Chains A and B, each alone.
Chain A
Amino acid sequence: AQRVTQPEKLLSVFKGAPVELKCNYSYSGSPELFWYVQYSRQRLQLLLRHISRESIKGFTADLNKGETSFHLKKPFAQEEDSAMYYCALLAGGTSYGKLTFGQGTILTVHP
């Protein structure tokens, strides 16, 4: 069974500081991984996905298959980054389409 773990429920940083939101996964196949974000009073939306290897709003995430991790990083946090962040894994094979989310991390960026 696939599993996604976000070990930090809450994460606080100051504006301009680096931020890293951790995501670890357990999956026997080749995973597709995503980060979704929910800003206050807005709908959940995709932030980035590992196969596109792009940087969105200054965030990047690298898939590390050896450590089974997909940590989200930003070198200089901004107040508008404050939100709930979810890491998600899309299964393949016979379970293709099944999407498992982590527990979420609430990021607060202080001025």
Chain B
Amino acid sequence: EAQVTQNPRYLITVTGKKLTVTCSQNMNHEYMSWYRQDPGLGLRQIYYSMNVEVTDKGDVPEGYKVSRKEKRNFPLILESPSPNQTSLYFCASSVWTGETQYFGPGTRLLVL
């Protein structure tokens, strides 16, 4: 089944403890992106990648890192999480930039 998967789906952590949220797609898509969703603020793009080894900042990249070493995976890294990074995170992919994006199920993160 063609899909975008994220792991973990739920995560509770403490301030400063490094974590990684994985994102994987099996559709051979070029474009991948990470978003956070917060009440009243909608979806905000964190980072995106138009191809392997190519990543760019979205609107809210501070405190996050990404890598795109292979086409199918696009992990989101929080080196030193803080409570203001408590949010619902979505990964998405599309065949090309600007094409229909397919979203993952979301990862709910709580940073204490």
Which residues of A are in contact with B by a Cβ distance under 8 Å? 6, 9, 32, 36, 43-46, 49, 86, 88, 90, 95-104
Against A, the Cβ 8 Å flags (1 = close, 0 = not) of B22-48 are 000000000101010000111111001
Query: Given A43-B105, A44-B90, A44-B103, does the pair A101, B98 have CB atoms closer than 8 Å?
Result: no
Q: Which residues of A contact B59 (CB under 8 A)?
A: 98, 100
- Is B75 close to A, CB under 8 A? no
Q: Which residues of B contact A98 (CB under 8 A)?
A: 45, 48, 56, 58-59
Query: Given A43-B104, A44-B90, A86-B42, does the pair A101, B35 have CB atoms closer than 8 Å?
Result: yes
Are the CB atoms of A9 and B40 closer together than 8 Å? yes
Given contacts A46-B100, A46-B101, 8 further A-B contacts (CB under 8 A): A86-B42, A90-B97, A96-B97, A97-B50, A101-B42, A101-B43, A101-B45, A103-B42
Chain B: CB-nearest residue to A2: B59
Are the CB atoms of B43 and A86 closer together than 8 Å? yes
Q: Which residues of A contact B106 (CB under 8 A)?
A: 43
Given the complex of chains A and B, what is the CA–CA distance between A9 and B41 in angstroms? 10
Chain A: CB-nearest residue to B97: A97
**Taking the nearest CB of chain B, how far is it from the CB of A88, in angstroms?**
8
Q: Which residues of B contact A36 (CB under 8 A)?
A: 101
Find residues 63-90 in chain B having any chain A CB closer than 8 Å to their own CB: 90
Are the CB atoms of B42 and A97 closer together than 8 Å? no
Given the complex of chains A and B, what is the CA–CA distance between A56 and B41 in angstroms? 26
Chain B: CB-nearest residue to A95: B56
Query: Given A86-B42, A103-B40, A103-B42, does the pair A43, B56 have CB atoms closer than 8 Å?
Result: no
